Amino acid sequence: MLLLAGYLVFVQLQDAAWSLWWRPVGLVVLSYVLQWVGHRVEGNDMGELILAKKWVGKPYIAISPRYDQAAQTKSLSRTCQP
C-alpha cells in the first residue's frame, strides 16, 4: 500500500490535484494500522518501534514468542537425540 501511496502522490502532482491530498495520506495511515494489527496478532513489535525502544534502552520483542519457543524446542530435540 505504501508503494501505491507513492504512485498516487506522483500522479496527483502531475495532474496538480492538490485537493486530493487525503488519498495518499489515508493509504499511508491505513497501511500502518494494518501493520500494527498484524504485529499485535503475531505478538511482536513493529520495526520502527523496535528501533525507538533500542535507542532509549527499553526491552522489545523482535520475534514472536510462540515462534521463538518452537525454534528452541526443535533445537533442543535435535541435541537430545543420541
**What pLDDT score does 80 carry?**
45
**What pLDDT score does 9 carry?**
80
Q: What is the mean pLDDT of each run of 10 residues along the chain (82 residues)?
A: 77 78 83 88 85 89 72 52 49
Q: What is the full DSSP assignment across 3-71?
A: HHHHHHHHHHHHHT-GGGTHHHHHHHHHHHHHHHHHHHHHT---HHHHHHHHHHT----SS-HHHHHHH
